[in-house]
């Protein structure tokens, strides 16, 4: 009977740990940082939580209950930093003018992250000057920049895949898959998830990634585009199926999105070049402010069809495809099937030229 009671108590304690989580304490020193505040964004019970942390005399202290190792964000007015935490005591030391170089002790997962990121330094050095020239050069050089950035992305993916393959039971491997799943494609992410050990897949994070993959699968190349009906800026109903018979660029954007607005002239150029050859554009705005949406349409001189539910990222179509970042786009063929995703810059023109001018 005594042993039975001990067993029951043990089960209760284990359940309590799983329900209530475990404690983490982060102490830090940001040298020469003025007194003030920053925020820590983390998850608890599958919900995002934001805590405000005080910096006093260059020091701060934050304690919370977490369910296990996770990536958090230290959010300052003009920047944010990633910090990987786990239950226990963690210490952070940094300098106000170089917080991105902060040193972290007491987090084994942060050690793993730092070690892997060091293997990507050569790619960062190649990538940085390309982004500085992006959009500021001629057509041929721009296309070469886009191709080189794509090549760098493939090398990064290859190194990520190798790390996951050799660390299948590592929670950081699963976090890398989750990061890829946020903006990546099903074709890219599913093979990475397949490398994860079943015991790690069964965690709450593993289940979360599994559900995300179900959503990403909807936009696999060759899948039928979701048929939607939505109002344009004049309150008139627009049906997607009415546009079938042409190549359609379905462009997700918003008035507040800087990269979207910067890409609009490129989309306009493509529209004007190919609109008489069986091509059109449908813009789906993720705005929640009607006036700003309409103003942006006018300012950017966008003549193509524009629709929105003014629900932000809760838009019916963006929710269906799990879109978390914009600009984002699908190129749909005359039969309504997705043939390409996220074509921007000269790649958009090159693809359309191959598809439409080959008919001549």
pLDDT by residue (tens digit) across 196-221?
999 999 998 999 999 999 999 999 99
DSSP 8-state symbol, 56: B
Indicate whether 20 pLDDT > 70: no
Pair type for strands 36-44 and 47-55: antiparallel
327 Cβ neighbours under 8 A, 6+ residues apart:
251, 252, 253, 257, 259, 260, 263, 342, 344
Indicate whether 46 pLDDT > 80: no
Report pLDDT for 67.
Answer: 84
Residues 328, 254 contacting (CB under 8 angstroms) = no
Residues 331, 248 contacting (CB under 8 angstroms) = yes
How many CB atoms sit inside 10 A of residue 65's CB? 13
Average pLDDT value for the chain:
91
Could you tell me which residues are beta bridge partners of residue 93?
A: 29, 103
Average pLDDT, integer, range 348-355: 95
* pTM as predicted: 0.82
Least confident of 19-28, 221-230, 305-314, 343-352: 19-28
Indicate whether 2 pLDDT > 90: no
CA distance 159 to 128: 19
Report pLDDT for 358.
Answer: 64
Report pLDDT for 78.
Answer: 86
Average pLDDT, integer, range 177-183: 93
Confidence of residue 245 (pLDDT cuts 50, 70, 90): very high
Report pLDDT for 68.
Answer: 86
Indicate whether 139 pLDDT > 90: no
Confidence of residue 137 (pLDDT cuts 50, 70, 90): confident
Average pLDDT, integer, range 76-99: 94
DSSP-based three-state secondary structure for 66: strand
Instruction: Name which of 36, 320, 68 is nearest 174 in CA terms.
Output: 68
CA distance 262 to 149: 18
CA distance 263 to 282: 14
Report pLDDT for 167.
Answer: 96
CA distance 158 to 149: 14
Report pLDDT for 15.
Answer: 40
Confidence of residue 16 (pLDDT cuts 50, 70, 90): very low
231-267 per-residue burial string, b: 16 or more CB within 10 A, e: under 16:
ebbeeeebebeebeebbbbbbbbbbbbeebbebbebb
Indicate whether 359 pLDDT > 80: no
């Amino acid at each position: 009977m005594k042993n039975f009671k001990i067993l029951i108590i043990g089960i209760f304690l284990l359940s309590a740990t799983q329900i209530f989580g475990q404690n983490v304490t982060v102490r830090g020193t940001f040298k020469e940082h003025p007194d003030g505040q920053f925020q820590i964004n983390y998850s608890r019970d599958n919900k995002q939580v934001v805590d405000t942390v005080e910096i006093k005399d260059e020091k701060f202290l934050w304690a919370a209950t977490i369910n296990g190792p996770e990536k958090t964000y230290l959010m300052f007015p003009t920047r944010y930093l990633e910090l990987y935490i786990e239950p226990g005591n963690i210490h952070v030391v940094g300098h106000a003018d170089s917080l991105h170089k902060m040193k972290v002790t007491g987090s084994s997962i942060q050690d793993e992250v730092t070690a892997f990121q060091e293997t990507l330094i050569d790619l960062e050095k190649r990538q940085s000057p390309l982004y500085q020239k992006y959009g500021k050069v001629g057509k041929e050089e721009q296309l070469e920049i886009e191709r080189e950035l794509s090549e760098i992305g493939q090398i990064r993916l290859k190194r990520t895949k190798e790390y996951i393959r050799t660390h299948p039971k590592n929670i950081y491997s699963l976090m890398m898959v989750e990061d890829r799943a946020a903006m990546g494609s099903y074709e890219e992410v599913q093979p990475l998830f397949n490398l994860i050990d079943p015991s790690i897949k069964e965690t709450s994070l593993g289940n979360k990634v599994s559900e995300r993959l179900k959503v990403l699968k909807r936009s696999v190349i060759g899948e039928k585009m979701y048929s939607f009906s939505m109002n344009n800026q004049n309150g008139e109903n627009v049906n997607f199926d009415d546009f079938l018979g042409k190549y359609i660029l379905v462009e997700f954007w918003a008035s507040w999105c800087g990269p979207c607005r910067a890409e609009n002239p490129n989309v306009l150029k493509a529209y004007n070049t190919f609109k008489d050859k069986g091509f059109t554009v449908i813009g789906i705005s993720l705005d929640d402010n009607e006036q700003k949406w309409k103003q942006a349409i006018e300012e950017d001189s966008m003549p193509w069809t524009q629709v929105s539910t003014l629900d932000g990222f809760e838009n019916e179509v963006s929710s269906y495809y799990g879109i978390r970042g914009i600009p984002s786009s699908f190129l749909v063929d005359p039969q309504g099937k997705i043939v390409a995703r996220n074509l921007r810059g000269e790649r958009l023109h090159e693809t359309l030229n191959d598809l439409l001018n080959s008919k001549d």
